[in-house]
Chain A
Amino acid sequence: MSTPSKPSLWARFRASDLGHAFLRSPGAMIAFGLLVLIMLAALFAPLIAPQDLRDATSFDLMDGFTPPFSANEFTGNFYLLGTDDQGRDMLSAVLFGLRASLIVGICAVALSALIGVTLGLIAGYAGGRVDAVIMRAADVQLAIPGILVALLIFGLTRSLLPTGLRDAMAIYVVILAIGLSDWVSYARTVRSAAMVEMRREYIQAAIMMGRPPRAILRRHLLPNVARPIFVIATINFALAVIAESTLSYLGAGLPPTQPSLGTLIRIGQQFLFSGEWWLLFFPGCVLLVLALSINLLGDWLRDTLNPRAVK
């Protein structure tokens, strides 16, 4: 007699509601495929990219403004996507830019989830005045568009730093700015879920047993309100990537020395009228595909999992 083998991960995924819906939605599959491709390209950027952008000696000013798909007329060096004014390879720039954009997006989402979930749990657990203060703060912040909040946080934080450190610290400041501007949706959802859980008997029992509040929050409350957090995080990831590219495009983000997609587009726009279209075109296209695929996937996930979980 053979023992029934444990179903593989793939089989379990196929059998689940989510997997079933996924395999029936070509849009979601294409978006997911593109996203995986983009993620892999960003992950392995240092291996794929012909040039290491972090090393200024690896590019040559003589190679500047080489058009894509052709060799430079002076040096004979070939660049698939051309080079910028300083002779940097655009393919490498786009790959590293993508990497920077995604790193900022992921870290910012993690930061805002951390802040939002913590505040939401505390508000739901404590209730009363603490709850009122946290939720009022959330209301005020929600009234002002996130991009303005992020710009203000970026500007003010940067003013606190000494001038020499500003470029080096830029990536942390951007993460901080986007992370702080985005916590409200987590806090609201977690708070309302926590308030429901608080009335349940197991929480009441834990309180009666004299468990310390920290343990109740972390061990009992958090695991039971965790599910919607992932949906919000996916959607906010799209928002964070767009926010990052917008900030960098405005010059209030990553500096040209460690560019993200937004920074590359900002630089490329300066050459739009002089005919060097590839400086703008390639980073623009990658950002376009990235934004569309995350958004499609996020929308699909929200509709499939729970249409009413978010906001």
Chain B
Amino acid sequence: MFLLRRLLQAIPVLLVTAFLSFAAFRFIGDPVQSMLGQDATAADRAELMAALGLDQPFPVQFWNFIVNVLHGDFGFSTRIGQPVLGLILDRLPATLELAVLSFVVALALGMILGVTTALKPQSWISRTVMAGSLIGVSLPNFLIGIGLIYVFSVQLGWLPAFGRGETVQIGWWSTGLLTVSGWKAILLPAISLSLFQVTLILRLVRAEMTEVLHSDHIRFARARGLPDRMVNFRYALKNTLVPVITVSGLQLGSIIAFAVVTETVFQWPGIGLLFINSVNFSDVPIMATYLLLTAVLFVVINLIVDLLYYLFDPRLRVKAAGR
């Protein structure tokens, strides 16, 4: 029931974005002109318009657009002249590997640092971490990326500054995670992309942990003489997980968004770089498709987070059943 209601709420959002990207396709950057070139006759034009279904009434065109999209047909890129779907699928593995790795880094680092600063708020480690996280939040992400390149690529020469390294093809998926050069190449972008998330998760874990550590059940557990380790991790940390999951899950979407910036800094051949190039060269079909895919992605992520919430917090289930 819960899930069904969520799904129904998502449909209007998707329809609106579909309409926006359809409008972009149709009215910005004349598709007929870009396919025919400059010197086409009016007859050629009419013929192509009929072939593409552009002479039909507006609602019919919109319907055809949705049918095409559901069949995976997003039209042709005006700059590269290939189907948009193929271009995106080619670059999807690079972005997904980068996003997932930096998400894992962010979650691990954020939790560790968050727990550390919550348990020992006065130690110099905690103070350094907190000051660093303040600076990390306020700096533009690309500046940090460039700084990493300067230190590790230009000065030390340890890691490559751009590209993906060697990739291995598994079916249609090209992975960089099976070669040494691939791992070397992904390290800097993943760290740079994760930094914003690290500071966010760190602050959240710290705030939640501090609150939980002062609650009665923790004091009782200490009074029973349970070992510190068990109290801190089994009792305290577990209670902070629900908000952490929600927020970091929602952040997965913004990782994909910020990947646009990181991919530009490190010239990482993913969909973010494809999107930026399409913005710079006014390649409307790719922009419109990206808009649509991002909307779907965000709706799906929100759904999954809601579902996880539901699974991790039994109180919600009881409430739903009681209604």
Residues in chain A within 8 A of chain B (CB atoms): 136, 140, 143-145, 147-148, 151-152, 154-156, 158-160, 238, 242, 245-246, 249-252, 265, 269, 272-273, 280, 284, 287-288, 291-292, 295-296
Contacts and interface: CB of A to CB of B under 8 A. Distances in A.
A246 B144 CA distance: 12
Contact of B282 (A152, A155, A288): A155
B146 A147 contact: no
Contact of A152 (B150, B253, B264, B287): B287
Please report whether the interface of chain B is mostly helix, strand, loop or mixed according to DSSP.
helix
A270 to B, nearest CB: 11
A140 B275 CA distance: 21
Contact of A145 (B28, B258, B265, B291): B258
A154 B149 CA distance: 28
Contact of B142 (A144, A155, A156, A265): A265
A292 B264 contact: no
Contacts of B218: none
The 5 A-B residue pairs whose C-beta atoms are closest, nearest first, are A295-B138, A155-B279, A145-B257, A159-B282, A148-B257
Contacts of B253: 143-145
Interface of B: 12-13, 16-17, 24, 28-29, 135, 137-143, 146, 149-150, 154, 161, 253-254, 257-258, 260-261, 264-265, 275-276, 278-280, 282, 284, 287, 290-291, 294-295, 298, 302
Contacts of B287: 152, 155-156, 159
Contacts of B138: 238, 291-292, 295-296
Given A152-B287, A265-B146, 11 more contacts: A145-B257, A145-B258, A148-B294, A155-B282, A155-B287, A160-B28, A250-B261, A273-B154, A287-B140, A288-B143, A295-B138
Contacts of A144: 253, 257, 294-295, 298
Contacts of A284: 143, 146
Given A159-B29, A291-B138, A147 B261 contact: yes
A274 B149 CA distance: 14
B223 to A, nearest CB: 34
A292 B161 CA distance: 26
A159 to B, nearest CB: 4
Given A251-B280, A265-B146, A273-B161, A147 B257 contact: yes
